Structure 1
Amino acid sequence: MNDTFRPAVLRPMHYVILALLALATFLPGFTTIPPFDRDESRFAQATRQMLETHDFVSIRFQDEARNKKPVGIHWLQSATVTAVQAVTGDHDPETTPIWAYRLPSLIGAVTAVLLTAWAGQLLFGATAGFGAGLLMAVSVLLSVEARMAKTDAVLLATVVAAMGALGRIYLDRRKPLPPTWGLTLTFWVALGVGILIKGPVILLPVLGSIVTLGFADRDWSWLKGLRPVPGLAIVLAMVLPWAIAIAVATKGQFFADAIGHEFLGKVNSGQEKHAGPPGYYLITFWLSFWPGSLLVGLGAAWAWRRRHDDAVRFCLAWIVPTWLIFEAVATKLPHYVLPTFPALAFLGMAALLSRIDAKAAAGRSSTQGTLNQPTTAGRIGRWAVVFVYLVITVALAILGAGAPLRLEGTNLPAGFVAGALALATGIAFVVLERIGCLKRLTLAVAAGGALSMITILGLVMPSLKAMWLSPTIAQAVADHRLCPTTVLAASGYTEPSMVFLVGTKTKLGEPDMVANHLADDPGCGLALVRDKEEPAFAAQLAARGLSPELIKHFRGFNYSRGSWANLALYRAGAPVNAPAPQTPADQVPADQPKPATPQP
């Protein structure tokens, strides 16, 4: 077993262990968590429409062009959905479950874990690589991204592949022999795939590290090892065909929107209210990379002291420019800095191994032990890191245990288990890191981190029915469908997950649009209206001579907006102000007076 925790070189067994750990962490909840809002549902719905229309060039969400990200993730999702349909025999895109669209993210996340171990071995040795892969496999953010049908898990795999090859080429720059073609091809192919997945985002760590190292070392000659001429030809051959096709299909509008609005627009303003101050990622990182954030925090000072070592220098060049750019950008989401996490994991593991080795050496030499005593500032910094880490651990435990009580009004045993596991894992990690026992530390973080993610994401989250409004709405629409051609129109709740679950033809808009929908199709149409829009909807419907007939009420937590929502499902009721049936005068009962004859 000791060979597993301090291997001289990574063997297939180590990659199998990491793959099994990653799958054990990522799979619970993979098929049971409903579609997330908003990005996941938009990506999945756009892929579904590709399969419905057989147009694999243009990207659309309903009737709107989705000129935001390149097509790569949609091609991967189309492939996995088609494979699932072939296995199940159900070829209707409308009925294919969300997990079929998530498969590329799952594969990308597991691949990213394995590539982290591979790249870590190239930079810091097998032990650091294995440990870094382990930290990635149980991290909070990657556990979430593996369960979401979007770009970031696949992008991470391409970044780690490209940066691992680039790092090895940088470390070998003084060797007489050029880099192998395997490393060069890995770099350029990963770069091409990354561009097809998320456009220029992969260039931030790649070009950021190249430029930083070039100026810091005042040496650019090592870039010859990348073989840039054939490499760029490979990337262009991968990217240009679709780039030309989408430019022709949209008359250039895709690049105007994707670069001008989506990419550059995030620099100046927080899109969709996703804004945050500088330092946002320094705060969110403690949770997003939990439980490994402890090692990164404790290893920061060590990494700065070793910044002249080639491997550490390369990791800092990988992290710092990308991190600073995202801190400066107005739009902020926790997953934006995910491409830097493998490098942070490398430094955290390398710092831990260095401290363990120094402690072992100190035990053999009293002089060495005296020289390695931490300074007062070092001790204060260490306790500050531990304090912040434990605060985040307690917050995660409270979240796991308290979310069911807050959203469902009841206690879930799984919630208490999740909270207890998170708390125990965090405390054990702190204690075992201090003791410096690598074997126990590895087992604790693997078991505790994985079980925490399994219970929180696999058991607690799917059970929070209040936050999954769209599945409830979709079930109600299915139960009360008036005709085979019934279409739902909605106002006040327009989340993409509802479109994915109810159907592509679902209409989203204002109360007057919903009223028009019922008036145009009173026998089959359905309407979903939030309580705030009900007066306007009822007035608009009355103006068209109809009244709303209530079918069902809904109440749930719209987490995309951060507020509770009261919704109602309607159909068109009886016409308002309809003339009463007329009774002929000769049929009026004798005890009632006959109506007066109108005077001219």
Structure 2
Amino acid sequence: MTEAHAAVPPVPPKREPTLWLQALLLLVALAFFLPGFFQVPPVDRDEARFAQASKQMIESGDVVDIRFQDAARLNKPVGIYWAQVAAATAWGALTLQSPAAAPIWVYRLPSLLGACLAVLLTFRIGRRLFGSSAGALAALMMAGCLLLGVEARTAKTDALLLATILLAQSALAELYMNLREGRPSSARLAIAFWAGVGLAALIKGPIVLLVAGGTIAGLLVFERRAAWLRGLKPWPWLLLALAIFLPWLVAIAIQTHGAFFAESVGHDLLGKVAGGQESHGAPPGLYLVLVFLTFWPFSLLLGLAVPWTWLERRRPAVVFCLAWLIPSWIVFELVPTKLPHYVLPLYPALAILVAAAVRETALAPAALAARGWASWLRFATLLIFLAITLLLAAGLVAVPLYLEGTLLWAGLAGALLLCVLAFAVIRLRPQRGGTTGVAVLALGAWLLYLVGWPGVVPNLSTIWLSPRIAAAVAANRPCDDSVLASSGYSEPSLIFLTGTGTRLGRPPEAAATLTENPACNLALVSSQDDGPFRAALGDAAAKLTSLATIEGLNYSKGKRLTLQLYRLAE
């Protein structure tokens, strides 16, 4: 047993009152996640696609089929859409408006809920493994880390998926620790595990099987026995997971004549495994590099956590976290298709290990003091942290200057805060252990998010083309039933903001829409498509009237655009 391990007080009883601490963590999570939540416009492309498909469920009343305009959207299960439909329906009931008119932030509410639940469940797991102090620190890190902050503000699957996976992992952690401590396990753990599996599968299919299955496989390798898995009671509680997931799966299979399986499994899942799908291919090791940004600012503490974890690698609580992290991380690194949020279900395990290292190294630092390689690792992570922090500061100034030709006060304030944070880190050296350093990192991140999310991101008007187009259409719509056709700009956010009936196509289709109803219909045409559009109109081009000009950057494609909003003069 190491000296650090010997100095650690025992894990508190499970019935220790922690309600007040959980309430405080919930408030902290909201303080991190709410800045910018209401202000940031619909983001292309995933968020806008999810929200628009949910909106069409409301409009059509069909909660089985998933569609983006007329195209079937069969790459993901239905869970997130149902959650977004429920949020929009509740908003409509409270505001006495049509749920289909809900703004984008309403569709983000399930992600906000998932992120908050993930913070609380991280505390629960961390508390069971290392005690309340470590659990609270881990929860704080999840609330403040950059990746979960982005997902909490985005109307898609990943934050809610994280919460459901953590429900299963919390049951698995308690079951495993009960085994090692000789405590009995109740049926509620099996119920929680299989409910988490079923809900996660309803949201994003088999990812939960990778994370939970990888954890179980890692523990089996370490324990060399499987009898403890009887506590999961697959019979009869596996039926609970099936009852959650199977009814919709059967319904969509019947409705699509099996096309859902061909698309979601054959194309989406196997396509990601076979090669880099949708231009998101990357070599192994990318996630290991990205963690310094996505887990920022707490990635500074990885240099402390790695040597501590090595010293404590045989400790049951550490074994559980490593079994959670390593098998799934290896799989994610080996799969060619990579996006930063794919590894989010592993970050709570990372946060718990970092929190335990911070807490216990502060109590007994001598165990690491004599190891030179640990000092070099802490120094390297300090340099990486400072580089990322200063690059973020430069970006807050340079990006608005490049896009808007001006400096934003919020960008300047955020850059100053980041410089102060870098200076504080150099002085305090939180990578040596201690909760004060974690608090400084969390406060710096929160102040940055407080000014950056609402003050910088929504005010980069150059990249927010769709909101400006929607405003121009609303100001110039000649009829209540006017149809907009767009040529040269086809981002999903345009559909969400201007209506499901908006038509995307080439110049001849835009011209046909105008001539179909000259008194009411509108056309949005890029400068590149303007010549073919006028040629398709023929003699009617003489009656074209430009109602608005919208210029900006289509960030999804990295292209600058000039768009004209047209109608035909009477």
Report how many aligned residue pairs link the two structures: 558
Does residue 330 of structure 1 match 2:361? no
The answer (yes or no) to whether the contact 1:10–1:121 under 8 Å persists in 2 is: no
What code does the residue aligned with 1:446 have? A
Given the alignment, which residue of 331, 336, 347 partners 2:353? 347
Query: Shift in Å at residue 432 of structure 1?
Result: 3.2
The 1:180–1:507 alpha-carbon spacing in structure 2 relative to 1, beyond 3 Å, is same
TM-superposed deviation, 1:563: 2.7
SS of equivalent residue, structure 1 residue 549: strand
With normalisation by structure 2, the TM-score equals 0.93
Closer, same or farther: CA 306–435 of 1 in aligned 2, 3 Å: closer
Is contact 1:488-1:527 (8 Å) kept? yes
Q: Distance in 1 between matches of 2:30 and 2:209?
A: 29
Residue from 375, 378, 383 that aligns with 2:374: 378
Does 1:549 find its partner at 2:515?
A: no
Gaps of 5+ in 1: 1-5, 360-368, 575-600
Look up the match of 2:7.
none
Q: Spell out, residue by residue over 1:206-260, the C-alpha distance to the aligned partner (whole angstroms, 9 max, x if none).
A: 0111122213432211111111112211111111111111111111111110111
Segment drifting more, 344-353 vs 530-539: 530-539
CA positional deviation for 1:92: 5.1
Determine whether 1:213 maps to 2:209: no
For residues 529 and 431 of structure 2, the distance between their equivalents in structure 1, rounded to whole angstroms, comes to 60
Aligned pairs (5 A) from 1:540-579: 540-542=536-538, 548-572=544-568
Aligned residue runs from structure 1 range 425-440, under 5 A? 425-429=421-425, 431-434=427-430, 438-440=434-436
Partner in structure 1 of residue 482 of structure 2 = 486
Aligned residue type for 2:316 = D
- 1:250 equivalenced with 2:256 (yes/no): yes
* Structure 1 residues 182-331: aligned runs within 5 Å: 182-331=188-337
Change in Cα spacing, 1:10 to 1:416, as seen in structure 2 (3 Å) is farther
> Is this contact kept in 2: 1:541–1:548, CA < 8 A?
no
2:3 corresponding residue in structure 1: none
| Residue identity opposite 2:563 in structure 1 | L
Q: Is the 8 A contact 2:361 2:433 kept in 1?
A: no
Percent of aligned positions with the same letter in both sequences? Answer: 46
C-alpha contact (below 8 Å) 2:304/2:431 kept by paired residues: no
Cα offset, 1:177, TM superposition = 5.0
Tell whether 2:88 aligns with 1:81.
yes
Q: Name the counterpart of 1:466.
A: 462
Separation in structure 2 between the aligned mates of residue 349 and residue 395 of structure 1, nearest angstrom: 26
Which protein shows a greater Rg? 1
Say if 1:495 and 1:253 are closer, same or farther in 2 by CA, change over 3 A: same
Q: Deviations over 1:352-392 (max 9, x none)?
A: 12221123xxxxxxxxx5x7533333322221111111111
State how far apart, in whole Å, the 2-side matches of 1:441 and 1:175 are: 32
Q: Deviations over 1:294-331 (max 9, x none)?
A: 11343122223322221111111111222222222222
What one-letter code is carried by the residue in structure 1 that aligns with 2:329?
W
Distance 1:160 1:191 in 2: 10
- The structural deviation recorded for 1:176 is 5.0
Q: Does residue 16 of structure 1 match 2:8? A: no
- The DSSP-based 3-state class of the residue aligned with 1:467 is coil
Q: Following the alignment from structure 1 to structure 2, what is the Cα–Cα distance between the partners of residues 30 and 279?
A: 32
Tell whether the 8 Å contact from 1:117 to 1:126 is kept in structure 2 after alignment.
yes
Aligned to 2:336, what secondary structure does the other structure show? coil
Where do 1:63-78 residues align within 5 Å? Answer: 63-78=70-85
What code does the residue aligned with 1:143 have?
Answer: G
- SS of the residue 2:206 aligns to: helix
Q: Partner residue of 1:100? A: 106
Deviates more, 1:406-415 or 1:517-526: 517-526
Distance 1:356 1:101 in 2: 42
Give 2:525's aligned residue. 529
Give the conservation status (yes or no) of the 8 Å contact 2:428–2:437: yes
C-alpha contact (below 8 Å) 2:63/2:82 kept by paired residues: yes
Matches within 5 A, 1:113-192: 113-174=119-180, 178-192=184-198
Give CA-to-partner distance per residue, 1:437-459, whole Å, 9 cap, x none: 73532432332221111211122
Deviation string, structure 1 residues 397-450 (Cα, Å, up to 9, x no partner): 222232211211100111011112233234434543448573532432332221
Q: What letter is aligned with 2:55?
A: R
What TM-score, normalized to structure 1?
0.89
* Aligned amino acid, residue 157 of structure 1: A
Partner of 2:38: 31
TM-fit CA distance, 1:547: 5.8
Unaligned runs of 5+ in 2: 1-9
User: Structure 1 residues 194 and 426, CA, compared in 2 at 3 Å: closer, same or farther?
Assistant: farther
Map of 1:453 onto structure 2: 449
Q: Which residue of 2 aligns with 1:579?
A: none
After superposition, residues 359-370 of structure 1 pair within 5 angstroms as 359=365, 369=366
